[in-house]
Chains A and B, each alone.
Chain A
Amino acid sequence: MTRLLDIQNLSVTFGGLHALKDLNFHVDEGEIVGVIGPNGAGKTTFFNMISGMVTPSSGQILFEGESMIGLDPNQVTQRGISRTFQNVRLFANMTILENVMVAQHCRTSRGVWGSLLNTKGFRQEEKEIREHGEKVLGFFGSRLIGYRMDQPASVLSYANRRRLEIARAMATKPKLLLLDEPVAGMNPMESAELTDLIGKLRSEWGFTIVMIEHDMDVVRDVSDRVVVLDHGETLAQGSFDEVSTNPEVIEAYLGRPLEKRK
């Protein structure tokens, strides 16, 4: 397996505060990696950094061997990394179909002239955008397609918004998918279903996935490898079983027993 993403000695500071410190991390092609850690461990900052929304103060991010440092978020997406957000951020007043259509912006190219002259290429491209959009929506069963497609995203239920956000990320045709707490706010049945689908994202769509998740069942079920972050540092990595029995990890989550404190 080849290295898809390789992060070396990555640090970021906000006003003297280390959000991430000397982080080393890698993802191989076809892997599903779970990122866990207590609140404030720097997980979302970690995602923001990969997706170009935050510039690291030092270190290197290599994607397919090329440095991603200094790229704008849209360039990162263009290279093939797409993400979802912890607090679902859809284009609430665009329709469901438009949400996934607009995500294909960087994969398409027709500009002003094509649309003004309504050229054959333009119509062809619009058709393809639409079809691909319907295809990614169809991945979640019939929930997001049919009459729903032309409704604004704001009418969706919480769980469906999360699904649509994943669909939108899929629509950018990424190689690496970053899922930020994909099952947060879902009931056990829904999250079990989504866990299945995350597996399918790899087996059927061929995405490599990095996932931040608090739900340990989900992490256990889909992750090949788990990375634990705490205070901006990697605390442990390995299979779920290794990590979950690691005393340091337990300590990070549950706190240090009183007598061990200095």
Chain B
Amino acid sequence: MTAASVPNAAPALLPADTSIDWNRITRFGGLLALGLVFISLAGMPLGLNQRTVIEPVLSLGYLALMWLPFLAGYNVGNEIVLEGMEATKKGPRDLLGGLIVGAIGGVGLSILVLLIDNFDLRDPLVNWSPQLLEFLNFENGVGFGSWIWIPFCGLLGLAGASLQLMSQTMRRAVMTVILAVIVLSVFEFLIIDIVDPLKKVLYAQQGGLKWGAAIVVAILAAAFSLFGREPISQVRSNYNDATGPEKSRQTAVLIGLSVLALIVIPMFTGKITQELLANVGIFLLLALGLNIVVGLAGILDLGYVAFFAVGGYTTAVLTSSNRGEDWPSWFPSEIHWVLALIATVIMAGIVGLIIGAPVIRMRGDYLAIVTLGFGEIIRLLFLSDWLNGYFNGAQGITNIPPADFGIFEIKGTDPRSVFYLVLFFAAISIYVSWRLERSRLGRAWMAIREDESVAEAMGINTVNVKLMAFVVGAVLASFSGAIFATKVGSIFPTSFLILVSIIILVVVIVGGMGNIVGVIVGAFVLIGVLGGPKQPGLLQEFSEYKLLIYGALLIWMMLKRPEGLVPNARRSRELHQDEFLQDAWLKGEVDDAVPDSGDVDGTVAPA
């Protein structure tokens, strides 16, 4: 029982190890060098060099190499404090570490420069080119290029490490400045699209922030970070502290404002932004559906694209004038979009049942692989000669008419109308997810996610309940498919590759499994910035690299933040069970060590 008092009478901590950890430094340096060489050979610097961040100082190409030493320098001093040790103090040795790590990384690039200069490996490696050499030399000859990266990366590493030494406020200010400049320059198209006059003020003729504008932005961002943070955190804590009806009122206002913004913004933007928003919306719908399956019910469905495909094809077959020729004459054709949607939803539900029923009793990992198989089979069937008479194989179904609602029309050439339609369905999906999470069904899903066999022993028909999640997910995906078919006006099997499933999975995971807000944020950030499987995002130059980035993101999220950027409290507890318990114990929330008196009515709440 006295164990409870341990936190108070903590024994003296061991002094932190202050020696320089050469092992760690060389490991980081080696990884950094590999990373830099990989990025160079993957063609990122050259591919991105077209785009200027700050005119004429910095291009996106150089930025693609510069962030890595900076990050490595920052992280090399970021050691895990072992239990029972004092926290390490940041000091000169961290700076030294950052410098050395950066320099080792630079050595990697220098060696690369020398190698490219002396050997021709262009045969297997497509980016092993004189252009890359030129880029790495800063167009100043090999003599310059072979050494310049060592001090340059070293300094970047040093800069990264020096972030560690700053106070919290300073660090935040620096980060805000960097982010503000990059975001402003990267989102050039979006910003010009919304506020056209800014083009002349902020951006240079050939793209990129003017350097003067960059300085102004930096100063503004710094000022905001230093002085503007207070009121914002005030508002936020007001919101967090509010309870009961006051909280729900504020939430309602917040939701109302965001919806209003989403309705109003597209009215003032150009086609590019509208198109972007429509794409984000279509994938948001998919992500919301997958969130129910993966996030709430804990079923890893890798073949989710199948329902998207079924939704798209059903709508296409029912509305297009150019579907396959083998359909019997009585089969409805060229019907109104709304009727087609109803049929689509029913079809998706049925396919959800057909795919769901066999897999629902499998253990989680087998289920993932089998659903992946189903996803591929469905695509291969749409593609096959066998069913060519129905789905036109690789030629796809074309001539899908716009959805005609009398007063307005939804068509691909008017992305704004598509976006409003998507918004409407997203609202439905969000409402469905939100209501279901707080219902009998939602609780049953949670219980199954936690411990399936106990859930079954507590009277939950796990098969039915999981099937329900499958079907609800399928129906939400079919909305998306129906809109997609109408938007594009034609539909091909290549739009439904497995990679669509994986990208949606990344969106759900990055946003935060089981969290609606997280999924919305994830969809806007990922699909909006990087783009969907085939749809370009804001960073059009990145489209070649986005799949790589999605893969890296998935790994990084699983390793560092499996609960996502906007975590669902419950999910994150599940994933960090140990840490959570430790925290709760330190806060005195766990009653493990509290003497549990025998009297029934005695309160055992900890002090």
Partner-B contacts on A (CB < 8 A): 51-53, 72-75, 77-78, 82-83, 85, 89, 91-94, 98, 101-103, 105-108, 110-112, 114-116, 118, 122, 125-126, 129, 140-143, 146-148, 151-152, 154-160, 168-169, 172, 187, 189-190, 192-193, 197
Chain B interface, DSSP helix/strand/loop, else mixed: helix
Which partner residue on chain B sits nearest A80 by CB separation?
Answer: B459
Interface segment out of the listed B185-193, B441-449, B484-492, B530-538: B441-449
In the assembled complex, 17 residue pairs joining A and B whose CB atoms fall closer than 8 Å, in A order, are A73-B453, A74-B456, A74-B459, A93-B573, A93-B574, A94-B450, A102-B455, A112-B472, A116-B432, A143-B603, A148-B605, A151-B589, A156-B591, A157-B591, A157-B592, A160-B604, A193-B599
* Chain B residues within an 8 Å CB radius of A169: 458
Residues of B within 8 A of A115 (CB): 435-436, 438-442
Q: Which of B63-71, B86-94, B195-203, B577-585 contacts A (4 or more CB under 8 A)?
A: B577-585
Residue of A89, A92, A141 touching B602 (CB-CB under 8 A): A141
User: Contact at B596–A112, with CB atoms within 8 Å?
Assistant: no
Q: Which residues of A contact B436 (CB under 8 A)?
A: 112, 115-116
- Docked CA distance A17–B330 (Å): 62
For the complex with contacts A77-B458, A115-B442, A154-B581, 19 further pairs of A-B residues with Cβ separation under 8 Å are: A53-B453, A74-B461, A74-B462, A77-B459, A82-B459, A92-B450, A93-B577, A98-B443, A103-B458, A105-B440, A105-B459, A112-B436, A122-B439, A141-B602, A155-B590, A189-B597, A189-B598, A193-B599, A197-B600
Residue in A78, A102, A114 whose CB lies within 8 Å of B444: A102
Which one of A78, A110, A142, A154 lies within 8 Å of B440 (CB-CB)? A110
Cβ 8 A contact of B603, one of A98, A142, A187, A197: A142
CB distance from A222 to the nearest CB of B (A): 16
> Is B365 located at the chain interface by the 8 A CB criterion?
no
Residues on B with C-beta less than 8 A from A126 are 439-440
Cβ-closest chain A residue relative to B585: A155
Residues of B within 8 A of A77 (CB): 457-459
Complex Cα spacing A148 to B431, Å: 29
Contact A106–B460 (Cβ < 8 Å): yes
Are the CB atoms of A116 and B435 closer together than 8 Å? yes
Q: A74-B462, A94-B450 are in contact. Are A157 and B590 (CB under 8 A)?
A: yes
A186 to chain B, nearest CB (A): 8
A-B contacts at CB below 8 angstroms, number: 148
Interface size on B, residues (CB 8 A): 49
Instruction: Please indicate which of the listed interface residues B444, B603, B604 has the most CB atoms of chain A within 10 Å of its own CB.
Output: B604
Q: Note all chain A residues with C-beta closer than 8 A to B451.
A: 89, 91
Whole-angstrom CA separation of A92 from B575 in the bound complex: 12
B288 at the interface (CB under 8 A from A): no
Top 3 closest pairs, chain A to chain B, by CB:
A106-B459, A189-B598, A115-B439
Instruction: Select from chain B the residue with minimum beta-carbon distance to A91.
Output: B450
State whether A94 and B446 are in contact (beta carbons under 8 Å apart), knowing that A73-B457, A110-B440, A154-B581 are contacts in the complex.
Answer: yes
CB 8 Å contact bits of B501-529 with A (1 = contact, 0 = none): 00000000000000000000000000000
* A13 → chain B closest CB, angstroms: 21
Write the nearest CB–CB distance from B426 to chain A, whole angstroms.
16
What B residues does A172 contact at CB under 8 A?
Answer: 458-459
Residues of A within 8 A of B459 (CB): 74, 77-78, 82, 103, 105-107, 172
Compute how far the CA of A157 lies from the CA of B431 in the bound complex, rounded to whole angstroms.
Answer: 37
Chain A residues, CB < 8 A from B581: 154-155
Distance in Å: Cβ of A79 to nearest Cβ of chain B: 10
Give, as a whole number of angstroms, the nearest-CB distance from A201 to chain B: 14
B contacts, CB < 8 Å to A: 431-432, 435-436, 438-444, 446-447, 450-451, 453-462, 468, 472, 570, 573-574, 577, 580-581, 584, 589-592, 594, 596-605
Q: Which residue of A lies closest to B463 (CB)?
A: A72
Query: Nearest chain B CB to A67's CB is how many angstroms away?
Result: 19
| Cα(A140)–Cα(B598), bound, Å | 11
How many angstroms between the C-alpha atoms of A152 and B580 in the bound complex?
A: 11
The complex places the Cα of A148 from the Cα of B584 at a distance, in Å, of: 13
By a CB distance below 8 angstroms, the chain B residues around A92 are 450, 577
**What are the residues of chain B within 8 A of A82 when measuring CB–CB?**
458-459
B431: chain A residues within 8 A (beta carbon): 116
Q: Whole-angstrom distance between the alpha carbons of A107 and B440 in the complex?
A: 11
Contact B577 A154 (CB under 8 A): yes
Distance between B592 CB and nearest chain A CB, rounded to angstroms = 5
Closest to A140 in B: B600
CB pair A158–B570 under 8 Å, yes or no, is no
Distance A106 CA – B590 CA, assembled complex (angstroms)? 31
* Contacting residues, chain A, for B598 (C-beta < 8 A): 189-190, 192-193
Taking the nearest CB of chain A, how far is it from the CB of B111, in angstroms? 50
CA distance A126 to B597 in the complex (A): 34
Nearest CB in chain B to that of A191: its residue: B598
Enumerate chain A residues within 8 angstroms of B589, measured Cβ to Cβ.
Answer: 151, 155
A83, A98, A141, A154: which contacts B601 (Cβ < 8 A)? A141
CB pair B456 A72 closer than 8 Å? yes
Contacts of A114 in B (CB 8 A): 439
Instruction: Please tell me if the beta carbons of B460 and A74 are within 8 angstroms of each other in the complex.
Output: yes
A95 → chain B closest CB, angstroms: 9
Q: What chain B residues lie within 8 Å of A72 (beta carbons)?
A: 456, 461
Let me know if A142 and B601 touch, CB within 8 A. Answer: yes
Q: How far is the CA of A160 from the CA of B431 in the complex (A)?
A: 36
Chain B residue nearest to A196 (CB atoms) is B600
Q: Measured between alpha carbons, how far is A187 from B1 in the docked complex, in Å?
A: 12
Bound-state Cα–Cα, A91 to B454, Å: 8
Give chain A residues whose Cβ lies under 8 Å from the Cβ of B443.
94, 98, 101-102, 105
Contacts of B460 in A (CB 8 A): 74, 102, 105-106
> Chain A nearest CB: distance from B357 CB in Å?
16
Complex Cα distance, B443 from A178, in Å, reads: 24
Cα A126 to Cα B441 with chains together (Å): 11
Q: Please tell me if the beta carbons of A94 and B435 are within 8 angstroms of each other in the complex.
A: no
Please, which residue of chain B has its CB at the minimum distance from the CB of A106?
Answer: B459
Q: How far is the CA of A51 from the CA of B590 in the complex (A)?
A: 32
In the assembled complex, the CB of B561 is this many whole angstroms from the nearest CB of chain A, namely: 17
Closest to B471 in A: A112
A102 touches B446 (CB 8 A): yes
A102, B458: Cβ atoms under 8 Å? yes
Cα–Cα distance between A140 and B601 once the two chains are bound (Å): 8
CA distance A217 to B600 in the complex (A): 20
Contact A141–B458 (Cβ < 8 Å): no
Question: Of B444, B577, B580, which one neighbours A105 at CB under 8 angstroms?
Answer: B444
Q: Are B441 and A157 in contact (CB under 8 A)?
A: no
Q: Which residues of B have CB within 8 Å of A187?
A: 596
Residues from chain A with a CB closer than 8 A to the CB of B454 are: 85, 89, 91
Q: Which of A53, A102, A155 is most buried by chain B, counting CB atoms within 10 A of its CB?
A: A102
- The verdict on A157 contacting B457 (CB below 8 Å), with A94-B570, A112-B468, A141-B600 known, is no
Q: How far is the CB of B243 from chain A (nearest CB, A)?
A: 12
A147 to B606, CA, bound (A): 12
Q: Which residues of A contact B472 (CB under 8 A)?
A: 112
Complex CA gap A98/B573 in Å reads 16
CB pair A98 B446 closer than 8 Å: yes
Q: How far is the CB of B461 from chain A (nearest CB, A)?
A: 5
Which residues of chain A have C-beta atoms less than 8 A from B458's C-beta?
74, 77, 82, 102-103, 105, 168-169, 172
